[in-house]
Amino acid sequence: MFEFTMHLESRSQRPLYEQIYEYIKEEIQNGGLPCDERLPSTRKLAQHLQVSRSTVTLAYEQLLSEGYIDNRPGSGFFVNHLDGLYRLAGGKEMEIPERKKPAEKFLYDFSPSGVDLESFPHNAWRKISRGLLMENNEDFYQLGAPEGEEELRRTIAAYAHQARGVRCNWQQVIIGAGNDYLLMLLNAVLGEERIYALENPTYRKAYDILKILGNEVRTVDMDSHGIRVEKLEESGASIAYVMPSHHYPLGTVMPAGRRLALLKWAAEEDRYIIEDDYDSEFRYKGKPIPALQGFDGNDRVIYLGTFSKSIAPAIRISFLILPQKLLGLYRERGRCFSSTVSRMDQKILAEFIREGYYERHLNRMRSVYKSRHDTLLECLKPLAGRVDISGEYAGTHLLLTLKNGMNEEEAICFAKEAGVRIYGLSSYNIGRKKTGNTVILGYANMDEDKIRSAAEILTRVLK
Amino acid sequence: MFEFTMHLESRSQRPLYEQIYEYIKEEIQNGGLPCDERLPSTRKLAQHLQVSRSTVTLAYEQLLSEGYIDNRPGSGFFVNHLDGLYRLAGGKEMEIPERKKPAEKFLYDFSPSGVDLESFPHNAWRKISRGLLMENNEDFYQLGAPEGEEELRRTIAAYAHQARGVRCNWQQVIIGAGNDYLLMLLNAVLGEERIYALENPTYRKAYDILKILGNEVRTVDMDSHGIRVEKLEESGASIAYVMPSHHYPLGTVMPAGRRLALLKWAAEEDRYIIEDDYDSEFRYKGKPIPALQGFDGNDRVIYLGTFSKSIAPAIRISFLILPQKLLGLYRERGRCFSSTVSRMDQKILAEFIREGYYERHLNRMRSVYKSRHDTLLECLKPLAGRVDISGEYAGTHLLLTLKNGMNEEEAICFAKEAGVRIYGLSSYNIGRKKTGNTVILGYANMDEDKIRSAAEILTRVLK
């Protein structure tokens, strides 16, 4: 019979029963106690180890519940068959070295995806958060509805109507943690065997996501009015992902005629349009361009809105406004996904909008970004004749098309040598040859002084 | 020529240019201004309306950018072709009547998905939140890494190791807003053409989600040790979704022998095991059962953990611990999905765990739930001989198998008539006939007094 030569530490932090359990478990794992070996009775082992019988019983119960031993009634405890036991590797896991590229150093970065965070309305946000934390409301910690909180959905429906001309009732609004998640959710709701089409160039991430989710994804060329509807028709797609109020990255505004043609395309068959309305709050000339959704008389537009660009990227709240037609399908296929946004965050945002903070913040940001936009345009004047500027007066970036014989790569490279990071349009083109002669300058994250200095370098470099 | 009979309100909140723009837009939409009609020049219209010329210019620019009119150089402004113009429906959208069933009234509800929220550590949570809000750190509002914050990932890796025997480094931890989202993400990472298998009965929601995501999903029968590995082999699945430490709803603990057989199944081919470890913090006898992941020497277990059950459902934070093998695939296919949890919430949770609040909260909840568990067992004693109890000593629910000739539906119906809600096991069975004779009693959300009163009713009803 197996010899129990264990040493119990009575002053250890670990309870005695645990020491016994660990000892026997290890002996079973390393083969010291072979299978079918009979363990001593609890009485005998207690005597042998000079502990109470209940201590041994506890250890045996743990071994039983983890399946190391078996209780054969009437004949005692036996070591179980543990065929093909995998040895536990000892020691701590090694860290995986991160595969990071060394960060490149730039004096100035015209990133088109920047957001000015210095203007984040900390005080208002904090005040609302604190107020809600004080309420001590147990409900906040309960799981909310999968679509989001009624209060926030109503607030967003009213806001989207007033600010963007969206026509919906609050039940069409679905809250989710960011656009990427909502695209995933929408993809699950719409189901397989849909063909998507995106404008070319387009927001690359949306293209990648739709592909990764297993869809067939096509691209459709644009002209100066936006997506070419006759090409869209030819593509065989049944869902078009577009940015009609301010295309990314081109900045194109889809005019009313093209909008109507696109809506007609959708209405003709079982087709939908995903309207990504990511930054149309920022327009520096005239009124905002109203959303495509508001023109749609046939319930065919899926509106996708976000607070990442207008408040802060870390506010993980976006929303879908589904056509009424799709609500049945959402209930069937989308409601089983629990909400990805905490009720607390939804309440903070609802109050932020309702109390007028959001509108004030937008007005402030519009003026901050307009001033940067105007400064950049002014500073680029020395390049007149050598570049064409497009996509200005809206959003937070513009495009320079070079007419000085330089291509995009050369321009990026020369600017980089002078410490300025600019971006090529080609990376937004899907499946086309890499080099064009258009570069993108984003100005959201640079103040006027930086813009002046950076633009001064560019005017030298792009001569 | 069209007669401009508009009435400008100079004292209106709306700027004059907007009133002009709105008027012309409406006239175009309702056909008052037909297509190809020429608009008066800005000078003439300004004169006619007695406003400045720049006001009219602004209105025309807005109409131009929205595509209602065109500027034909040299000949003026013309109304655009808007074929098939969709009329905007007037008035406000109707609300969709909610299709709610009238709520049924119960005196007591043994819901198996309850969580005790009265014990939520409001003060600690609030203190940490406030402290972080005070920091005014701009970084909190920047978009974080898709995998989650390093700080929280390190904290979770250490916690999972210490409390659950999970062996991983922090880079294997991926944070997401809830289990449903993480299953979606995992599905995108693993890609198509995988066959999933779940235990039967199982957590119904996981089954539904995997189906909706377009997967082939099979079910595998269980015996008293858990999923039957030879049946799993036959199923042709390459991914098994299991709950080895505490099966939902049966409460089965998978013993070491079965664990090893399951790990062997996974190691033999390109297969993976999803270990849903949803509530193993709550065990009222002996030590917690260690996670399957810690036994795995072949890097085949995907560990899924959540704070919904252990803290509160509204804390929308769960985590995956991926095998090192899958990190490459995650980087390729999963990193393009931005994080669904705000940096602020990740920071709060990391501090909550690191400062020991989480462990104290778990200890407290274990004792709260144990007391409820013990009370329920005690109160069910009068049913001895008429029911078999199983799944006790862990989690927050147990099962009663009726031996009094009643089936599940009858028991549920009799209990309902007496004001007590109990749940049938059958609804967790996938694709089997509906009626068995086992009911589920969850006790997380009932205090001892309620449990006593409700159990007293049950002992009468289930006689």
Q: What is the pLDDT of residue A115?
A: 85
Nearest to residue A415, comparing CAs of A378, A368, A383?
A383
Q: Are residues B185 and B279 in the same domain?
A: yes
Contacts of B210 (CB under 8 A, 6+ apart): B183, B187, B196, B198, B217, B241
Q: Are B320 and B303 in contact (CB under 8 A)?
A: yes
Contact flag A260-B339 (C-beta cutoff 8 Å): no
Contact flag B85-A129 (C-beta cutoff 8 Å): no
Q: Are residues B257 and B158 in the same domain?
A: yes
Q: Work out the average pLDDT over B364-393.
A: 94
Q: Is the pLDDT of residue B228 over 70?
A: yes
Residue ranges for chain A with pLDDT beneath 50:
84-93
d(CA A230, CA B213): 32
SS3 B122: helix
User: Where a domain ends, among A355, A377, A393?
Assistant: A355
Percent of chain B surpassing pLDDT 90: 58
pLDDT band, residue B90 (cuts 50/70/90): very low
Residue B326 lies in a domain: yes
**Range from A371-375, B57-61, B365-369 carrying the lowest mean pLDDT:** B57-61
d(CA B312, CA B305): 13
Q: What is the pLDDT of residue A84?
A: 46
Q: What is the pLDDT of residue B103?
A: 62
Highest mean pLDDT among A136-140, B54-58, B64-68, B145-149: B145-149
CA of B425: how far to CAs of A322, B240, B409, B430, B434, in Å?
36, 21, 10, 11, 9
CA of A376: how far to CAs of A362, A408, B10, B290, in Å?
21, 19, 35, 60
CB count within 10 Å of CB B446 equals 23
Contact flag A341-B177 (C-beta cutoff 8 Å): yes
Q: Are residues A281 and A388 in the same domain?
A: no
Higher pLDDT, B215 or B32: B215
Residue A10 lies in a domain: no
Q: Kindly report the nearest CA distance between residue B194 and chain A, in angstroms.
A: 13
Mean pLDDT taken over chain B: 89
A149 touches chain B (CB under 8 A): no
A65 touches chain B (CB under 8 A): yes
Q: Are residues B59 and B167 in the same domain?
A: no
Q: What is the pLDDT of residue B87?
A: 42
Q: Work out the average pLDDT over B331-360.
A: 93
CA angle A172, A178, A179 (to 5 degrees): 75
Q: Are residues B218 and B288 in the same domain?
A: yes
ipTM, 2 dp: 0.83
Residue A103 lies in a domain: no
> What number of CA atoms fall less than 13 Å from residue A418's CA on the CB side?
17
Q: Are residues A250 and A292 in the same domain?
A: yes
> What number of CA atoms fall less than 13 Å from residue B454's CA on the CB side?
26
Domain that holds residue B402: 108-114+364-462
CA of B209: how far to CAs of A187, A188, A215, A333, B440, in Å?
13, 9, 18, 9, 23
Residue A7 lies in a domain: no
Q: Work out the average pLDDT over B197-221.
A: 95
Q: Kindly report the nearest CA distance between residue A132 and chain B, in angstroms.
A: 10
B24 touches chain A (CB under 8 A): no
Contacts of B162 (CB under 8 A, 6+ apart): none
B205 touches chain A (CB under 8 A): yes
Q: Are residues B139 and B39 in the same domain?
A: no
d(CA B67, CA B29): 12
What is the CATH number for A407?
Answer: 3.90.1150.10
Contact flag A327-B96 (C-beta cutoff 8 Å): yes
Q: Are B239 and B195 in contact (CB under 8 A)?
A: yes
A104 touches chain B (CB under 8 A): no
Q: What is the pLDDT of residue B63?
A: 87
Q: Pairing between strand B108-109 and B420-421? A: parallel
Residue B284 lies in a domain: yes
Residue B184 dihedral angles phi and psi, to the nearest 5°: -60, -45
Question: Tokens 């936009």, residue?
Answer: A373
Residues in B touching A191 (Cβ below 8 Å): 214
B285, B290, B338 ranked by CB distance to A61: nearest? B285
**Range from A90-99, B46-55, B117-126 carrying the lowest mean pLDDT:** A90-99
Nearest to residue A460, comparing CAs of A402, A414, A401, A406?
A414
Residues in A touching B287 (Cβ below 8 Å): 18, 21, 62
- Binding-face residues of A in 340-359 toward B, CB within 8 A: 340-345
A294 touches chain B (CB under 8 A): yes
Q: What is the pLDDT of residue A245?
A: 92
d(CA A70, CA A77): 6
- What residue type is B91 in one-letter code? G
DSSP E strand boundaries for A307-428: 318-321, 387-390, 397-402, 420-421, 423-424
What is the CATH number for B150?
Answer: 3.40.640.10
SS3 B255: coil
What is the CATH number for A36?
Answer: 1.10.10.10
Q: Are residues B315 and B442 in the same domain?
A: no
Number of H helices, E strands in chain A: 14, 16
A65, A169, A258 ranked by CB distance to B253: nearest? A65
d(CA B164, CA A289): 55
- What residue type is B460 in one-letter code? R
User: Where a domain ends, among A24, A58, A93?
Assistant: A93
Residues in B touching A209 (Cβ below 8 Å): 336-337
Is residue A410 within a helix (H) or strand (E), and if so which, with residue range?
A: helix A408-417
Residue B305 lies in a domain: yes
Q: What is the pLDDT of residue A85?
A: 45
Q: Are residues A318 and A381 in the same domain?
A: no
- Identify from A338, A361, A390, A392 which residue to disrupt to test chain B contact, counting B C-beta atoms within 10 A and taking the largest count: A338
Q: Are B128 and B69 in contact (CB under 8 A)?
A: no
Contact flag B144-A205 (C-beta cutoff 8 Å): no
Q: Kindly report the nearest CA distance between residue B127 and chain A, in angstroms.
A: 10
Q: What is the pLDDT of residue A92?
A: 42
Q: Is the pLDDT of residue B307 over 70?
A: yes
d(CA A455, CA B19): 38
Q: Tell me the count of A-B CB pairs closer than 8 A.
A: 267
Residue A102 lies in a domain: no
User: Where a domain ends, among A355, A375, A394?
Assistant: A355
Q: Token pair of B459, please?
A: 């002992």
Q: What is the CA radius of gyration of chain B?
A: 31
Q: What is the pLDDT of residue A234?
A: 97
Q: Are residues B288 and B408 in the same domain?
A: no
SS3 A5: coil
Q: Are residues B143 and B59 in the same domain?
A: no
- A176 Ramachandran zone, left/alpha/beta (phi>0; psi -120 to 50): beta
End-to-end alpha carbon distance in chain B: 91
Residue B10 lies in a domain: no
Q: What is the pLDDT of residue B189?
A: 96
Q: Are residues A266 and A308 in the same domain?
A: yes
Q: How many domains does chain B have?
A: 3
pLDDT digits (tens, 9 = 90+) for B11-24: 777 888 888 988 88
d(CA B335, CA A399): 28
Q: Is the pLDDT of residue B84 over 80?
A: no
Q: Are B280 and B288 in contact (CB under 8 A)?
A: yes
Q: Is the pLDDT of residue B92 over 70?
A: no
CA of A374: how far to CAs of A371, A397, B73, B394, in Å?
5, 11, 26, 65
Residues in A touching B120 (Cβ below 8 Å): 138, 141
Contact flag A340-B177 (C-beta cutoff 8 Å): yes
Q: Kindly report the nearest CA distance between residue A72 and chain B, in angstroms.
A: 16
pLDDT band, residue B133 (cuts 50/70/90): confident
Listing DSSP states for B368-393 in one string gives HHHHHHHHHHHHTGGGBTTEEEES-S
